Amino acid sequence: MIHRIQRLRHRLNEKGLDGILITQQENRRYLSGFDGSAGYLIISARKAVLATDFRYTEQALGQASCCEILRIANNLTDWFPALLDEMGIRKLGFEASDVSYHFYQQLVDALKRKGLEVEMVATSGLVEAMRAVKEAEEIEFIRKAAAIADGAYMEAAGLIRPGLTEKEIAWALEKATRERGSETLPFEIIVASGARSALPHAKPSDKVVEEGEPVVIDMGARYRGYACDMTRTVCAGRPDETFMKVYTTVLKAQEAAINTIRAGMMGKEADGIARGLIEQAGYGEAFGHSLGHGVGLAEHELPRLSFSSEELLQEGMVFTVEPGIYISGWGGVRIEDTVVLKDGRAEPLTRAEKLRL
């Protein structure tokens, strides 16, 4: 992934850093291709070194062809100062949102023990900002994940009927998702029925789905590391009047947002499209989360589509559009698709059928 490392080097240069220590798992994978769960990536103007222990060295050699692989043991003092010295790094960026206070102390301590003067500089979002704009291949991986999730949903949703528990439905969805080729699920599937569907992130329970209740299903799939994220709300049996009104409002808000979002908008403008319609229908207070979030190697990443986000939506970004209305004691409705900004407009990648009333 040398082109990505190259782009990061430009940013390091702008920030006056000699190098950066990448510890965040998805960032490490994005830059190096290595998908193991332990390792440190150290990048300077001329070198990229992936330091990992013996469990992963062989895998790293196979996956991270743009990096030198350094086999390390647990003790930072044994390799970290010597490596920085050899790479000529005196001003090192680190990922502030990923490095714990404890680990930071260990890094500083290792340098001190070897008497190496290195300035540690907190950075934030450098690689995350790069990851927000997807390359063609990444979009294809997400498209594939979306096709898996669509197929699994269509297969399992047909089985939903009163009398099944949320857990039974979740298992049918999970099984279908894995059978269709998904890697480990990007997040635990949400199946929430009746009053429980007013909890946006309810875990599937032993509750039995009753006639006429809303059932919120939030699921995803993962392909070559890339996730998709999708929510459908269905009604087991005949919907009541509240369901008709709430569902129609959410669907209208979601479709309006997808049709109106353009490259160059700020996250908050996109959010405002759906929020405005939900407020007009009298449910403003009941839409308590943001419109969407980026999706990629992580199921939640940049950009943010919230009421306050000034992040610019750019061509190639992949994110969700997921308005919802949640009414305590009754239930909730959320409809979510993963979309890509292509030719300036939002193209849905998840396409599973939506309930039409």
Q: Nearest 5°: CA angle at 161, between 157 and 162?
A: 145
Told to check if 337 binds Zn ion by CB under 5 A, we report no
Minimum CB separation of residue 284 from Zn ion in Å reads 20
CA pair distance 306, 279, nearest whole angstrom: 15
Q: Residue 106 class from Cβ within 10 Å (0-12 exposed, 13-18 middle, 19+ buried)?
A: middle
Question: CB of residue 187 vs Zn ion: minimum separation in angstroms?
Answer: 7
Please, what is the minimum distance in Å from the beta carbon of residue 53 to Zn ion? Answer: 34
Nearer to Zn ion, 128 or 229 (CB): 229
CB contact set of 141 (below 8 Å; sequence gap of 6+): 223, 224, 225, 226
Q: CB 89 → Zn ion: shortest distance, Å?
A: 38
Q: How far apart are CA 279 and CA 287, in angstroms?
A: 9
Binding piece for Zn ion, criterion CB under 5 A, among 96-104, 230-238, 260-268, 345-353: 230-238
Q: Which is nearer to Zn ion, 231 or 233 (CB)?
A: 231
Q: Is 283 helix (H, G, I), strand (E, B) or coil?
A: coil
Binding part of the chain for Zn ion, among 25-33, 86-94, 101-109, 335-343 by CB under 5 A, reads 335-343
Neighbours of 256 (CB within 10 A): 16
Q: Does 229 engage in binding with Zn ion (CB under 5 A)?
A: yes
Nearer to Zn ion, 121 or 199 (CB): 199
Instruction: Determine which residue in the list 57, 182, 320, 338 makes contact with Zn ion, applying CB under 5 A.
Output: 320
Q: With respect to Zn ion, which residue has the nearer C-beta, 151 or 220?
A: 220
Question: Minimum Å distance from CB 279 to Zn ion?
Answer: 21
Angle at 315 between CA 311 and CA 320, to 5 degrees: 65
Nearer to Zn ion, 138 or 322 (CB): 322
| Site membership for Zn ion, residue 271 (CB under 5 A) | no
CA geometry: angle 279, 283, 284, nearest 5 deg: 50
Task: Give the Å distances, CA to CA, from 19 to 54, 121, 141, 164, 168.
Answer: 25, 10, 30, 55, 50
User: Closest approach of Cβ 247 to Zn ion, in Å?
Assistant: 17
Smaller CB separation from Zn ion, 35 or 336 = 336
Question: Which of residues 174, 218, 255, 301 is near Zn ion by CB under 5 A?
Answer: 218
In angstroms, what is the minimal distance from the CB of 344 to Zn ion? 23
Selected range binding Zn ion among 43-51, 138-146, 308-316, 319-327, rule: CB under 5 A: 319-327
Note whether 338 binds Zn ion by CB under 5 A. Answer: no
Element holding 294 (H helix, E strand): strand 292-294
How big is the chain, counted in residues?
Answer: 357
Q: How far is the CB of 16 from Zn ion (least distance, A)?
A: 37
Q: Helix, strand, coil proportions of the chain in percent (round to 5)?
A: 40, 25, 35
Instruction: Using alpha carbons, select from 342, 343, 300 the residue that is nearest to residue 322.
Output: 300
Q: Which CB sits closer to Zn ion, 166 or 229?
A: 229
Tell me how many residues contact Zn ion (CB under 5 A): 5
Give the footprint of Zn ion on this chain (CB under 5 A): 218, 229, 231, 320, 336
